[in-house]
Amino acid sequence: MCIRDRRRVREKLERSMADQRQMEAMRLFCKIDSDKDGVLSMEELAIELTDYGMPDDEIERLFLTLDLDGDGYVSEDEWIQGWDGFVHQIEKQQSQKMQREVLVALGHVRTNPAGCIARLSDRATRFTGKHYSWGSSNKVSKEGAVAVQDAVDFLHRQEPIPDLGEHVVRGLVLAGEDHAHDIGQAGVASHVGSDGSGSWDRSGAFPV
């Protein structure tokens, strides 16, 4: 394939991806537009975004960003123009929500290790080899039920210890994001960075 042909294929793919993003944006616009008047109000956007756990002040800031002409409504054109920023904000909110949920879950395990044994033991029964099934969810794990049983054995020996609180430490978040970017490019899952660094090395590199 010559350079000109490759350029045409790339341009066609880019147009296709842009069309798909626009279709996705308009599907959500129509869903949020509950009164079907062709524009989105602050109230309509808030109803949708509270389901993502987004606080009111962030919803207001996002709405003002989308409302380019400042008329108090988000039109279809404004929605399309602001779609990438909207998606970024939602992904950021979901990531922050997951971080808090992980901290809460860790707190439960640390303060009541014995209380988590039954739940983990139940999960171990859902494995067939390395395949994990739960309802309609089917996943392929790296280690299978062996890893779950290791965790159960550890919890049997572990005494309760204080939790970590629910405050997300920004420095640790940055260290984790840096590590994900580092090893993600290689397509591997590892606690060791490409430079041989461990979690303690990375956490010390970012201010807490």
Check residue 5 and give its pLDDT.
55
Residue 167, pLDDT > 80, answer no
Return d(Cα 85, Cα 106) in angstroms, integer: 32
What is the arithmetic mean of pLDDT over 173-186? Answer: 86
What is the arithmetic mean of pLDDT over 98-104? Answer: 87
Return d(Cα 65, Cα 186) in angstroms, integer: 36
Return d(Cα 10, Cα 6) in angstroms, integer: 6
pLDDT band at 15 (very low <50, low <70, confident <90, very high): low
Q: What is the 3-state secondary structure (H, E, C) of 99-151?
A: HHHHHHHHHHHHHCHHHHHHHHHHHHCCEECCEEEECCEEEECCCCHHHHHHH
Check residue 13 and give its pLDDT.
59
Residues in the chain, overall count: 208
pLDDT band at 190 (very low <50, low <70, confident <90, very high): confident
Q: What is the pLDDT of residues 116-152, one digit of tens each?
A: 999 899 988 999 999 998 888 888 888 899 999 999 9
Amino acid present at 72: G
Return d(Cα 100, Cα 109) in angstroms, integer: 14
pLDDT band at 14 (very low <50, low <70, confident <90, very high): low
